[in-house]
Amino acid sequence: MKFRNTLIALVLFQALGVTAQLPVETPEQKAERLQWWTDARLGMFIHWGLYASPARHEWVKKYERISDEEYQKYFDLFNPDLYDPHKWARMAKKAGMKYAVITTKHHEGFCLFDTKYTDYSATNTAYGKDLIKEWVQAFRDEGLGVGFYYSLIDWHHPDYTIDSRHPQSAETDEEYEMLNEGRDMDKYRKYLKDQVRELLTNYGKVDILWLDYSFPGEHGKGRNDWDSENLLQMVRELQPGIIVNDRLDLRNVEGGWDFTTPEQYKVTRWPHRNSVRIPWETCQTFSGSWGYYRDETTWKGNKQLLVLLIESVSKGGNLLLNVGPTARGTFDSRAQERLEGMGEWMQYNSPSIYNCTQAPDEFIRPDNCLLTYNPETRRLYVHLLDYPLKRFYLKGFAGKIKYAQFLHDRSEIHFGSPRKTVTYNEKQESEDIILMLPVVKPDIEIPVIELILHD
Ligand code: GLC
């Protein structure tokens, strides 16, 4: 009801030509709207576009300063004959992912969806169909949340002004002025809004919108260039429940974003704003590139990826893990291998991930471990990154644990008070407990101990 009133107020404001008014929510309402997503913890990012053909980074057009004319060959050849989004969705699900976000348009400007506003879309390639429509259907069929990435940046639209990130970027102000003669950002702003409206109208419920990205400053672009507030207002009207990232350059506007997006790095602690913990999701690649990159060899290993996931949850965040499909529409073997590795672990250990978050401060993290915690079931999870030798100390845990078991096979782990030794004084002894682990590491990449706490 409250939301409806807000919506009516919004429509009135708009009719009166007043600047955007974003819906106001209490922190509790926001937490509730985001809950399915914070519970999910693991999602798949998919970067797919014409850049899959050069297969050397989705920024290839910029990095190699390729003109529209030269880039056209990738459009002319585009025909992903092996595209089967059901396969993708099944692989994502098997890896333990609960939602997925796909590039409907990346910086190159190519639209994977059917659009009225440009010919530069999949429907006009040899493939001839709306790739997003099939994708949404397939991922929904597997019960996964669906999200759209849409690039605010556009290196193909004739009215998008040349800026520092553009393939035709210039050196001097005069050069920029010359290059931008005749380009009209008003028209681009309208285009951008029209396309986002299409995306949020033609595909049913959309769970996440991932807009990318702002770079305010000299020869940059920010909220005024995108008309961010009005754009977001439209988004909220079209899809009231949708979850939106923070790249519209509205970080200091109330209601201007839902979650923050640390990209390709690990946060040192749960991100805060005004001393309050905020929702966050780190997006990460398997290798160094988002788009399919044939010759990239810096692929992360299975354990590194698992640590990335567990560590994110241990600091209250999500992981969005990227796959860059090939020009034929397949996940290459390196990506498949990693997804399988995640899935193997998740199959047995996902209760330490889903619905979990940072452990309460009273639980001290043992060396070489990561802790996660399920506030509903009040179970605490100890992830053993480096398998210890038999006696495993939990400092300050005495009196807190009712039962201990491995998560993967629910086999009991005995525990008790440490024996008096020269290294322990009376006080420490009374506060710590010791778990008796089997000498042989269980056949699990990162074994997890599940601790059932006293009420
Ligand atoms: C950056 C890059 C882009 C990638 C994105 C993912 O903004 O420009 O290529 O899509 O990050 O977070």
* 164-186 pLDDT tens trace: 999 999 999 999 999 999 999 99
Class of domain 369-453: mainly beta
Ligand 1 pocket residues where CB is under 6 Å = 47, 58-59, 212-213, 263, 283, 290
> At residue 10, does pLDDT exceed 70?
no
DSSP string, 173-237: HHHHHHHTTT--HHHHHHHHHHHHHHHHHSSS---EEEEE--B-STT-B-HHHHTHHHHHHHHHH
Cα-to-centroid distance, 420 and ligand 1 (Å):
55
Report residue 105: phi and psi, to 5°.
Answer: -155, 130
Average pLDDT for the chain = 94
Q: How confident is the model at residue 424 (pLDDT cuts 50, 70, 90)?
A: low
The DSSP code for 313 is H
The predicted model gives 232-240 an average pLDDT of 98
Q: What is the pLDDT of residue 417?
A: 87
Question: Residue 420 is which amino acid?
Answer: K
What residue ranges of the chain are covered by domains with CATH 3.20.20.80? 20-352
CATH number for the domain whose boundaries are 20-352: 3.20.20.80
pLDDT tens, residue by residue, 266-281: 999 999 999 999 999 9
Q: What is the pLDDT of residue 373?
A: 98
State how far the Cα of 407 lies from the Cα of 445, in Å rounded to an integer. Answer: 13
Cα-to-centroid distance, 320 and ligand 1 (Å):
12
> At residue 402, does pLDDT exceed 70?
yes
For ligand 1, pick from 60, 103, 210, 213 the residue to mutate: most ligand atoms within 8 Å of CB.
213
pTM score, whole prediction: 0.94
In terms of Cα–Cα distance, which of 156, 112, 37, 97 is closest to 323? Answer: 97
Cα-to-centroid distance, 81 and ligand 1 (Å):
26
Q: How confident is the model at residue 13 (pLDDT cuts 50, 70, 90)?
A: very low
Question: Residue 108 is which amino acid?
Answer: E
Question: Residue 146 is which amino acid?
Answer: V
State how far the Cα of 139 lies from the Cα of 318, in Å rounded to an integer. Answer: 19
Q: How confident is the model at residue 418 (pLDDT cuts 50, 70, 90)?
A: confident
Handedness of CA 351, 353, 354, 359 (dihedral sign): positive
- First and final C-alpha spacing in the chain: 37
State how far the Cα of 157 lies from the Cα of 186, in Å rounded to an integer. Answer: 12
Q: Kindly report the number of other CB atoms within 10 A of residue 16's CB atom.
A: 7
The predicted model gives 213-219 an average pLDDT of 97
Q: What is the pLDDT of residue 32?
A: 98
Quick one: which atom of ligand 1 is closest to the CA of 210? 12
What residue ranges of the chain are covered by domains with CATH 2.60.40.1180? 369-453
Beta strands in 53-204, from DSSP E residues, in sequence order: 99-105, 145-151
Assess contact for 418 and 433: CB atoms under 8 A.
yes
For ligand 1, pick from 290, 296, 318 the residue to mutate: most ligand atoms within 8 Å of CB.
290
Assess contact for 155 and 167: CB atoms under 8 A.
yes
Cα-to-centroid distance, 71 and ligand 1 (Å):
20
Question: Residue 367 is which amino acid?
Answer: D
